[in-house]
A and B are shown apart, each in its own frame.
Chain A
């Protein structure tokens, strides 16, 4: 389709406006992170006193790097665990026969409807009784598996041609071997999607860590920022903005590098 010149200009105009709206908060956040708090407090947003002092302060005076490390550890553990347990579970629903298989599957499917947020009260009591409070474990153990992950991988495993299983049976592969050598490599795109999904879910956890962590040693980054925000907004807007930028930069880099794969993976999950 050919576009006329005015048409084209118009399209660019809309594109640019939308781009500014979307990128605006980033730029403003980044810009103010370079300004001294005194200027921000005065409303002097066009100050020329630019420096990296806020970043130095954030790294030296707050636990922001520790928060990042904590989040990284928690998210990675959750991701690895979900890949393992969800794929094992999904395998059972596709390649194993046992009593009540379909019933169990529907039960698990049903749990996808239950929001974790509505179950925090008893879950809090459970982790307290297990003495897991204020520990990495409390943010990983409840999320070792996920109904969504099992469901997604089951759909993916079902695409495996029966001939492969038959061939494997002929070769005498047991279930462990077939799971490891055939199923997982075959479904790697779905596994990649689940990995990204579970990592992000864990990274974005907010309420649960807020309820279960009580020290900077274990506090993940979302709640770390909340902590900084409540302590410092008045005293140090510049440093808060710098901390937010520190947190957002790694995810943005990952996003831009992995965008290509991510998009395909998500669409895989979305349309299936």
Chain B
């Protein structure tokens, strides 16, 4: 744990602790507030109840059934949908593909994002231009990114294919071979993520007090030493926030997969979330797809919980 080396959030913690001490005796909270509470909170609760809580229970329920050809649950099968999934090689392939995809996307996004932020943080002539460029993919929506990259990876006419044949390299069938297809969707996702990650990490770097660098420079610290012992600890809360956002985003990646590979070839890019769509809205297996949804939700919830546990420790609200 690097919590000890992180002095930054501390003053804030003191401050907010002070505020909450004040608050304990602070805001006058009245018993008559419940009518206000009903009016203020009612709409949100209604929406969350209808579109978040109820469907959660309903998905759990559906996952225990077989559904007929118009989607009605007809035969109760208990946990058989789950057992069938976890023992099927196709679903295991999806689990594996998701793991590879998520790890690759998160690692590359963070490393490249940090590299860009670090590069852009230095004061150089014209650096503003680079900052603008680096943040540009934030304005790119998923379909646009998919279309740009689909063209780059397309056989015969695509950019990589043309460069390859120009240099007489063996031609890679990017989207029709399992390994290259995964590489292609990872590259596209990372590219799309970079703008946002760069902006956040760059902002965090700007907030690291210059004095810390000056002090360590006087002590003779090298640039890489500074990076690992000053920069990284100082921005670790942001780094963690970014990694969690990227991680959860990667688990939910749908559009790029849909447009670029449709889960193929041979299920190599058939991520868990895409499988839910396929089994429900293409094959009409709503029971099975519900079980897949539950598994997906559990995985994501686990990671979100970890984030909260971890963040709670590092940053005081």
Chain A interface (Cβ < 8 Å from any Cβ of B): 1, 3, 8, 11-12, 14-15, 18-19, 22-23, 25-26, 28-29, 32, 40-43, 45, 85-86, 88-89, 91-99, 101, 104, 108, 111-123, 125-126, 141-142, 144-145, 147, 150, 155, 158-159, 161-162, 165-166, 169, 175, 179, 203-204, 206-207, 210-211, 221-223, 225-226, 229, 233, 237, 240-241, 243-244, 247-248, 251-252, 254-256, 259, 262-264, 266-267, 270-272
Contacts and interface: CB of A to CB of B under 8 A. Distances in A.
A270 B204 contact: yes
Contacts of B146: 229
B199 interface: yes
B141 A85 contact: no
A3 B123 CA distance: 10
Interface in B273-311: 273, 276-277, 280-281, 286, 289-290, 293-294, 296-297, 300-301, 304-305
Interface stretch (B77-85, B96-104, B154-162): B154-162
Contact of A121 (B45, B159, B217, B280): B280
A62 to B, nearest CB: 13
Contact of B254 (A123, A126, A158, A206): A206
Given A117-B273, A121-B290, A122-B54, A270 B133 contact: no
Given A115-B296, A263-B203, A29 B277 contact: no
B173 interface: no
A207 B255 contact: yes
A241 B143 CA distance: 11
A244 B26 contact: no
Contacts of A108: 44, 48
Interface residues of B, number: 107
B62 interface: yes
A225 to B, nearest CB: 4
Contacts of B71: 125
Nearest to A108: B48
A115 B249 CA distance: 10
B144 A165 contact: no
B217 to A, nearest CB: 7
Contacts of A155: 317
A147 B301 CA distance: 14
Given A145-B48, A241-B147, A28 B41 contact: no
B139 A121 contact: no
Given A120-B280, A121-B62, A272-B315, A96 B29 contact: yes
Contacts of A126: 50-51, 54-55
